[in-house]
Chains A and B, each alone.
Chain A
Amino acid sequence: MSEEYPIVFLVDDDPSILKTLSRALEEHGLQVRPFKSAREFLDGYDGQHGCLILDLSLPEMDGLELQTELTVRSIAIPIIFITGHGGVSESVQAIRAGAIDFLEKPFLPETLLLRINEALEVDRGDRAQKRKDDAIRDRFHKMTDREREVFRLLIEGDSIPSSKVIAKSLGISHRTVEHHRGRILEKALCGSVPELRALAKEVSFVVG
């Protein structure tokens, strides 16, 4: 799935925009999937990578509402807003919520292409990061419950706790802690505890 060709999702309630803009983007070699409402997009989107060109004013669920909904659903597809109204407050809101840009119709197709490339770059970055995160998470998931307890104590706090402190708080022996620590570093493919802490921070490991 990660090697899939990126898809440009286009949501606009104006059929002629859907038709002409899709055609233009396809002519530029992009794979485009048009939707005429936010609801249809939500139903049709299946986690593919790419970006979303989203009209601000749509019937029922408008562009900003769809953006919120995607955030709620943890769908991190980059969004380029397009609008025929040019509302300043809406654009500010959209950009704050992470939109790539806010284009006023009629924009130059090349401007949109630039933004699409930017968005796809962001998406690629996001996905690469996610893959990396997932790989790291996988390593952490290989830990036993006890190891996970030790690991949690190792990455918490501002400074690295000594084996004795960990041993005391877990009610186990100092040597057992050192043994677990060795296994943890091995599984996480880390050479040292500071490296382990940096790695955990990178994937913002949620200690459960």
Chain B
Amino acid sequence: MLPYTLYGSSRVTIKGEILMFGSLNLFEKFMPHGVCYQWRADILWLNVISDTVIAFAYFFIPSALIYFLRKKGEVPFTGVIYMFCVFIFACGLTHVLSIFTVWTGQYALQGTVKALTALASAATAIMLYPVMPKLLALRSPKELEETNVSLQEQIEQRKTSEAQSIKLQGDLARLGRITTVGQMATGLAHELNQPLLAISACADTAVLRAKKTSSDAVLFDCLDDIQAETQRAGAIIRALRQFISNKSSAWSAVDLNDLVEQAVRLMSGEARNADVQIVVNNGKVQVVTADNVQIAQVLVNLIRNAIEAISEVTDGQGSTQNVITITTGCDGEMVVVEVRDTGPGIAPGIDPFAAFETNKVDGLGVGLSISRDIIEAHGGKLAFKRLSGEGVGFIFSLPKRLPENLANAPVQ
């Protein structure tokens, strides 16, 4: 190998008619490149090893890219990436050829490989040009992550508002029922007030007449009761109508123990007829601001429900189990009243508050639904619990201090 000289090599090159491309012999051998390194081991291996590493890297990169493309499936700009692979692979080949020519001077072969690489790289560059704006438009992983987070938030919001809208639909349906009941009640109020006035007038006349002929105390007591009950019916209708027209009626300081006592007195007749005993456990309660007629209505409602529930089991047969227990007390910021019965309880799956939904044979479930509306209008809650033994406890609470929005409501 040593006999080749630099001069000789150029001569040989000219002799090899390098400019005559047509007759180019790819495998024509020239002076190996090692000669240029003067076969100095350090320079030679520095180049050879570097080229080797570069070549391996250049072969590995496209393989990795292709592996990535295959695995990932949908990746944008696949064409460009494949082109890039070809270009890098070709670059790797040129480095292989650089190693090869250190010992074997087949420069035509090397040049050809370089020419192919040039084509591939030029093509890649050209392809890259129109793709660039699109590449720039691609979101960075960080941006994508942010988008993801905000999408998650939106989904959460959607879910929340969906839940709200479902609740609202429920409220609306309930409101619809209330409106219907309200219209009925308004109509009924007028229709009932007429006969009530007539009854009241009759009772009055009867008292005057009876005074002329009788001194029967019970008779007068009866007539007085007729008058008082007629007026009470009128008061209930008035309160109901005011409640339905959403106006507060007479809000005043109310002692719930007093109201319970009144309600129990009102219901004592019904309770006696059904052979039900009413037990009252008066706890310490604070005076609350409320419409006493409305709260009395709720109490009467709950007691009546309890009596009806109990008579459903016993069917008039007296037993020691026929007890309604009314307990008053405080729970934090609320005054609480519980009405427990020893009835059959509420069948699972039945919502006792759903208007007109009732499991009682002859009941009309409006009472409970209106009761709850009354309590809620006072800023309180009406709930029920199925007792471990038999029966149900209905519990309502009223705030000791009237909430701002209610306190500020125009009271007339």
Q: Which residues of A contact B (CB under 8 A)?
A: 14, 16-17, 19-21, 23-24, 27-28, 57, 82, 84-86, 88, 104-110
Query: In the assembled complex, how far is the CB of residue A28 from the closest CB belonging to chain B, in whole angstroms?
Result: 7
* In the complex, chain A residues whose CB is within 8 Å of the CB of B241: 86
Chain B facing A: main interface SS = helix
A84 touches B189 (CB 8 A): yes
Closest residue of B by beta carbon distance from A21 = B201
A109 touches B238 (CB 8 A): no
* In the complex, chain B residues whose CB is within 8 Å of the CB of A17: 194, 197-198, 201
B195 touches A23 (CB 8 A): no
Given A104-B238, A106-B193: A24 and B202 within 8 A (CB)?
Answer: yes
Within 8 Å by CB of B230, from A23, A104, A106, lies A106
B201 touches A20 (CB 8 A): yes
Given A84-B189, A104-B238, A106-B231: A27 and B209 within 8 A (CB)?
Answer: yes
Q: Which residues of B contact A (CB under 8 A)?
A: 189-191, 193-202, 204-205, 208-209, 227, 230-231, 233-234, 238, 241, 412
Query: In the assembled complex, how far is the CB of residue B250 from the closest CB belonging to chain A, in whole angstroms?
Result: 13
Closest residue of B by beta carbon distance from A88 = B412
Closest residue of B by beta carbon distance from A19 = B198
B190 touches A24 (CB 8 A): no
Given A28-B208, A86-B238, A105-B193: A16 and B198 within 8 A (CB)?
Answer: yes
Rounded to whole angstroms, the CA-CA distance of A108 and B228 in the bound complex is 9
Given A23-B205, A86-B241: A108 and B231 within 8 A (CB)?
Answer: yes
Query: In the assembled complex, how far is the CB of residue B198 from the closest CB belonging to chain A, in whole angstroms?
Result: 4
Within 8 Å by CB of A105, from B196, B202, B205, B412, lies B196
Give the interface centre of A14, A82, A106 by most chain B CB atoms within 10 Å: A106
Query: In the assembled complex, how far is the CB of residue A95 from the closest CB belonging to chain B, in whole angstroms?
Result: 16
B204 touches A27 (CB 8 A): yes
A20 touches B202 (CB 8 A): yes
Rounded to whole angstroms, the CA-CA distance of A81 and B191 in the bound complex is 17
* In the complex, chain B residues whose CB is within 8 Å of the CB of A85: 189-190
Give the interface centre of A19, A27, A105, A110 by most chain B CB atoms within 10 Å: A105
Rounded to whole angstroms, the CA-CA distance of A180 and B210 in the bound complex is 68
* In the complex, chain A residues whose CB is within 8 Å of the CB of B196: 105-106
List of 3 A-B pairs having minimum Cβ-Cβ separation, nearest first: A84-B193, A106-B196, A109-B204
Within 8 Å by CB of A106, from B199, B205, B412, lies B199
